[in-house]
Amino acid sequence: MSELGFRNFVGVDGSKGMLDLAAQSGLYQDLRLALLGTDPLPAQTGAFDLVVIIGALRAGFVPVSVIRELWQAAKPGGYVCMSRVDPKSESGEKYKLSMKRELQQMEEEGLDLLTLNDHWGDLILFPSKIYHKFLCFSNIQF
- Domain 2-138 indexed as CATH 3.30.40: no
**3-state class of 32 per DSSP?**
strand
**3-state class of 4 per DSSP?**
helix
Report d(CA 130, CA 28) in Å as an integer. 18
- CB-side exposure of 138: number of CA atoms within 13 Å? 24
**3-state class of 24 per DSSP?**
helix
For the entire predicted model, the pTM comes to 0.76
- pLDDT 10s digit of each residue in the chain, 142 long? 677 777 788 999 999 999 999 999 998 999 999 999 999 899 989 888 888 887 788 888 889 999 889 888 888 777 788 877 666 777 878 888 888 888 888 888 887 665 554 444 454 544 433 333 344 444 433 3
Bridge partners of 90?
Answer: none
User: For residue 82, what pLDDT is reported?
Assistant: 80
